[in-house]
Amino acid sequence: MIQPGLYDIAHLNTPADLPQIAAQLKQCPSARLCLYGPPGTGKTSFGHWLAGELGQPLQVQKASDLLCAYVGMTEQKIARTFELAAEDGAILLIDEVDSFLQDRTRAKNSWEVTQINEMLTQIESFPGILIASTNLIDQLDPASLRRFDIKIHFGYLLPEQVSRLLVSHCQNLGLPHPTPEDLSLTAAMETATPGDFAAVARQHRFQPFRDAGGLLQAVIRELEHKSGHLRRIGFQ
């Protein structure tokens, strides 16, 4: 979900002109978008933003919502999901779409191929706006990639985006403005994402930060956990 007062597409690191895409979709609300990039970079939030811009409901489905242990049931769930989205005039966002569109040459069971084929069929025939997000675009079936009109990469935040997001969170949480020393540390945060800041903002409810430096250290800890090592960034 979008955090009130904090979500800004300027905080998304993507080469695409997102406002222009939204404007075009207002004129022709039918497209298949594939959003790819590391976790936390804003792919799902973009779906919420786009739905708000277009004034359409958003239907979000994760792999866990659709996968079923019984043979044939996953295909039925997939078909029903697309049917309901079309009936409601909703934008359909399928998260972790790589769970369904893996390269068929890697499939070990016939039912895996059947699921892929069902998803491809539904994507092809869906009349509305479909957003598929993945962290693993290199594992998608080549035939599935050809079915997407637009492929948009979401990357880690640029240093200036990290600085702006830090300032925005301080304002939203009622913290003092970051010091020049705080802002200088953002240049070394090469894998920061909007999701990291959102996680830290939730921590503030239970362990309030006193200043921007405390918030920044919490974000850095998120990055350390994510990268699997404990290299400190600017702190001893």
pLDDT of 102 strictly over 60: yes
Tens digit of each residue's pLDDT (9 = 90 or more) over 145-186: 989 999 999 999 999 999 999 999 999 999 999 999 999 999
Considering the domain architecture, whether residues 147 and 163 belong to the same structural domain is answered as no
Q: Give the pLDDT band of residue 229 (cuts 50, 70, 90).
A: very low
Confidence at residue 107, expressed as pLDDT on a 0 to 100 scale: 57
State the chain's mean pLDDT as an integer.
88
* Mean pLDDT within 199-219: 93
| Domain C-terminal end among 137, 153, 169 | 153
Considering the domain architecture, whether residues 104 and 184 belong to the same structural domain is answered as no
Confidence at residue 210, expressed as pLDDT on a 0 to 100 scale: 94
3 located within any domain = no
Considering the domain architecture, whether residues 127 and 164 belong to the same structural domain is answered as no
* Mean pLDDT within 126-155: 92
Report the predicted TM-score, pTM, of the whole model to 2 decimal places.
Answer: 0.87
Cα distances (angstroms) measured from residue 42 to each of 21, 22, 83, 182, 187: 16, 16, 26, 24, 20
> What range does the domain containing 220 cover?
159-225
In this predicted model, which residue has the larger pLDDT, 109 or 199? Answer: 199
Considering the domain architecture, whether residues 134 and 191 belong to the same structural domain is answered as no
Residue among 101, 114, 181, 172 nearest 141 (CA):
101
The helix or strand, by DSSP H or E, that contains position 60, with its residue range, turns out to be strand 58-61
Distance CA 63, CA 107 (A): 17
Confidence at residue 234, expressed as pLDDT on a 0 to 100 scale: 45
